[in-house]
Amino acid sequence: MSLTHEPRGQWPRLWLAAPRAELLAAGGHLRALGKIRHLALPQMGLALLPLVDGAFHESFNLGEIPLASSQLSIHTADGREARGASCVMQDDISMVETLALADAVLAAGWPEGEALAVLLAQGRAALDEVARQRKALLAATTVDFALLGETEDDDDAA
């Protein structure tokens, strides 16, 4: 049973936009669900961002970005198992592990994921509000170039 209609690839972005304290509290509850095992080496630090230039199609490193990644599984005492992963542009290993855990639980459709779905909705609302504010700012700075033509005519006449 899916608890959210948001695409899985957007979950980390939405959770990071949700209230941080609530997300960390939810992570604490998830950690108590069962035994957690890393499936890959959790990483935290700076990562090179390779790109290909448009002229000669040669690869180059644009710069370094903070990056953290985690891949894990959780096994509950009643025999349930879920796997999840996360990779975010933050050097916060605790946060990325929380996101990976949340990813596992919500993707598996466990009842404990309902609180995570609520956080997704809160994150979506926060991002929508930011988008609305940016749109309003953009609208306020719109220039009507049609008026520019009328001004030129006036100058010519003078």
Partner 1 sequence: MRLEAIFNPSLQQAVFRATLQAQSYPGLAAALPQAVDGKDAHRALLSALLDAEVSLADPENLLSAETDWPFLEARRASVEQADFILAEGARPRLLAPRLGTLSEPEQSATLVLRLADAENAMQTRLHLSGPGIREPRTVAVNGLHPEWIKQRNDWVASFPLGVDLFLVGSFGVIALPRTTHVGVQ
> For residues 8 and 31, what is the distance between their CA atoms, to the nearest angstrom?
21
Q: Of the ranges 11-19, 39-47, 84-92, 124-132, which one interacts with partner 1 (CB under 8 A)?
A: 39-47
The smaller minimum CB distance to partner 1, of residues 3 and 106, is found at: 106
Ranges of beta strands (E only) in the chain are: 34-38, 43-52, 59-76, 81-88
Quick one: 97 or 112, whose CB is closer to partner 1?
Answer: 97
Q: Of all residues in the chain, what percent are helix, strand and coil, respectively (each to 5)?
A: 50, 25, 25
**Cα angle value 15/78/39 (rounded, 5°):** 50
Please report whether residue 119 would count as binding partner 1 according to CB under 8 A.
no
- Taking CB under 8 A as the rule, does residue 36 contact partner 1? yes
The site map against partner 1 for 44-83 (x = CB under 8 A) is ----------------------------x-----------
* Backbone Cα Rg of the chain: 23
Question: Is residue 132 near partner 1 by the rule CB under 8 A?
Answer: no
What angle separates helix 93-107 from helix 20-31, to the nearest 10 degrees? 70
CB of 77 to partner 1, least distance (A): 16
Catalog residues that contact partner 1 under the rule CB under 8 A: 31, 36-42, 72, 97
